[in-house]
């Protein structure tokens, strides 16, 4: 086994910076990367997230107001025919592990899938949710690709929305079109960050009315024991019937902005292009 000569944080920094730059060029807007602490990452699942106002997915208030999620994992290279998954590739391959190693109450190490469960919950709602990993073992190659503005072509992504089973390891080669997930082998397409950006840019924009209803549905499921929360949600759901039909979406949008500011302490933005 050969480990990369850079850290997961280095991969995260380089890929996020390249992602921000390419979006700045294509949308004339500089994104803010939300990076979690390790404790928050344990509960939310992702380690980097962005709010892309041109996507048809409303911001999630309990996920830093984001709608695009990444979890970076370092892949090691396996070079021996004795490696566990060699039979599936019959050549050198790269592999990362999905679960964390954690101790149970007896002190025994177990595979902890809490992070996976959190990511799968986001993916289950349709949100773009990916594992990002490295296709090189060398920091110098990362740096050269970054400087050449080609790094995003070399960061393979696993779309969590495409995975049906629960797996321990993910394997691939630098040129493979699919990941293989193990133990019961499942295949999933290999995407790159650059390809994902291009495909997402073509996704049809949602209307403000549709986004309102999606966000209302998300908020209704949260804080079920908070009486004030439930009362304000019910007021938004039941109001505006006397307004002209054309005015309702923006009136409800303003009410949702006020709700998020009051109960969560965040400011919610939607681009006018989503009308």
Q: List all residues 6 or more positions away from 88 whose beta carbon is below 8 Å from its beta carbon.
A: 171, 180, 182, 185
Residue 49: the pLDDT is 98
Residue 119: the pLDDT is 97
Residues 62 and 164 in one domain: yes
Residue 86: the pLDDT is 97
In a domain, 107, yes or no: yes
Residue 95: the pLDDT is 98
DSSP string, 213-270: HHHHHHHHHS-TT-HHHHHHHHHHHH--TTS-GGGHHHHHHHHHHHHHHHHT------
C-beta neighbour count of 140 within 10 angstroms: 10
For CA atoms 58, 61, 63, 64, give the dihedral sign.
Answer: positive
* Cα–Cα distance measured from residue 254 to residue 180, given in angstroms and rounded to the nearest whole number: 46
What pTM did the predictor assign? 0.74
Residue 170: the pLDDT is 98
Q: How many separate domains does the chain show? A: 2
The 3-state DSSP class for residue 78 equals: strand
Domain-terminating residue out of 201, 221, 240: 201
Find the domain containing 257 and state its range. 208-274
Residue 251: the pLDDT is 83
* Cα–Cα distance measured from residue 37 to residue 137, given in angstroms and rounded to the nearest whole number: 26
Residue 107: the pLDDT is 87
Residue 273: the pLDDT is 42
In a domain, 247, yes or no: yes
Residue 195: the pLDDT is 86
Counting as low any pLDDT under 70, the low residues of the chain are 201-206, 267-275
Residue 183: what are its φ and ψ, rounded to 5°?
A: -95, -50
Residue 34: the pLDDT is 97
Residue 111: what are its φ and ψ, rounded to 5°?
A: -90, 120
């Amino acid at each position: 086994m050969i480990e990369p000569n850079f850290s997961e944080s280095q991969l995260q920094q380089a890929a996020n910076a390249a992602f921000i730059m390419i979006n700045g060029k294509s949308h004339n807007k500089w994104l803010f990367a939300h990076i979690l602490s390790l404790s928050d990452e344990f509960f939310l699942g992702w380690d980097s997230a962005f709010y892309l106002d041109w996507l048809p997915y409303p911001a999630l208030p309990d996920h830093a107001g984001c709608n695009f999620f990444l979890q970076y994992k370092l892949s090691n290279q396996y070079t021996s025919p004795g490696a566990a998954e060699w039979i599936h590739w019959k050549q050198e391959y790269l592999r990362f592990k999905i679960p964390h190693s954690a101790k149970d109450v007896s002190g025994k190490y177990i595979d902890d899938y809490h992070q996976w469960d959190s990511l799968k919950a986001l993916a289950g709602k349709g949100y773009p949710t990916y594992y990002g990993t490295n296709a090189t073992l060398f920091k110098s190659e990362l740096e050269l690709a970054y400087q050449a503005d080609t790094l995003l072509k070399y960061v393979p992504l696993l779309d969590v929305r495409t995975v049906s089973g629960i797996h321990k390891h993910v394997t691939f080669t630098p040129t493979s079109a699919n990941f293989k997930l193990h133990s019961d082998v499942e295949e999933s397409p290999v995407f790159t960050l650059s390809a994902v950006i291009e495909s997402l840019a073509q996704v049809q924009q949602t209307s403000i009315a549709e986004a309102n209803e999606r966000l209302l549905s998300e908020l209704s499921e949260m804080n079920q024991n908070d009486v004030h929360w439930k009362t304000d949600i019910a007021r938004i759901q039941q109001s505006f019937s006397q307004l002209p039909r054309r005015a309702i979406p923006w009136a409800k949008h303003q009410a949702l902005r006020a709700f998020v500011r009051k109960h969560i302490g965040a400011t919610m933005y939607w681009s006018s292009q989503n009308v």
